[in-house]
Amino acid sequence: MINREDMLELTRRMTRSRNCFDRIAGSYMDADGYCDGSFNTGFLKLSAAETEEKLRIAKTIPFSETNRQLKKYAFPGKDPASRQMYQLLMGLRDCRLKNDALVDTFCELIAGQYKSETDYGIFLYHGCYDIPVKASDKERLWESEEVYDFLICTVGPLGKEYDMISVEWGFLFPAFTDRSTDPGHINIYEKTPSARKMSFVSIPIK
């Protein structure tokens, strides 16, 4: 099960004044799954308006309804496709999205499964969160306990200015469990939980 407080802790680092993201990349896709354009840039290079908009989109994942819209899955599974995706995500995380070839490969894999009747976007965020130590009385201390190095992905329909209108599917990887990196799991978001969009993971953790 996903702890709601863990997710809320992450969202508090997704504001302009306390931003944890350093890079954003992705693709703009047409309804047939063909790429209309791509981007890969430092998060600090975005305008103030773009920063606010991209943070709003990213926060959809951790701020969603835990254990209903956002579920925890064991990852990777036993099948080759799951292991391929796991290795790809680890590579994207380790390079902090700076490898365009890996980003393009990821977007192609997502487009191969995602079905849409409209143009849509695939946005990838890389972030780092210095997890503060908590004392026994739960008061936060200044020193960092661990650095949580992670990816957020959002997929959803696009507006006229290539902004993402809403997030239909996405994930947080690695999972954030008990305020720590959990590389054996992934947290997957589905706006409509009954509408399975991807098949590289299967059974949620109860």
Residue 79 lies in a domain: yes
List helix spans (H) across the chain: 4-11, 48-63, 80-94, 100-113
Q: What sign has the CA pseudo-torsion 178, 170, 56, 98? A: positive
- Percent pLDDT > 70 in the chain is 89
| Residue 205 within any structural domain of the chain | no
Range of the domain at 130: 4-14+21-190
Does residue 143 form part of some domain? Answer: yes
Which residues, listed in sequence order, are joined to residue 126 by a DSSP beta bridge?
Answer: 23, 151
CA distance 123 to 133: 31
Whether residue 127 lies inside any domain: the answer is yes
- Asked if residue 49 is part of any domain, the answer here is yes
Q: What is the pLDDT of residues 30-82, one digit of tens each?
A: 999 999 999 999 999 999 999 999 999 999 999 999 999 999 999 988 888 88
Q: Does residue 115 lie within any of the structural domains?
A: yes
In a domain, residue 200? The reply is no
Residue 195 in domain: no
Decide: pTM greater than 0.85. yes
- Contacting residues for 19 by C-beta, under 8 A, at least 6 apart: 13, 43, 51, 55
Whole-angstrom distance, CA of residue 85 vs CA of residue 105: 10
pLDDT computed for residue 168 by the predictor: 94
Q: Is 5 left (phi over 0), alpha (psi -120 to 50) or beta?
A: alpha
Query: Which tokens hold the place of 109?
Result: 């894999």
Query: Exposed/middle/buried for 136, CB within 10 Å: 0-12, 13-18, 19+?
Result: exposed
Number of domains the chain contains: 1
Whether a cis peptide bond, with omega within 30° of 0, leads into 193 is: no
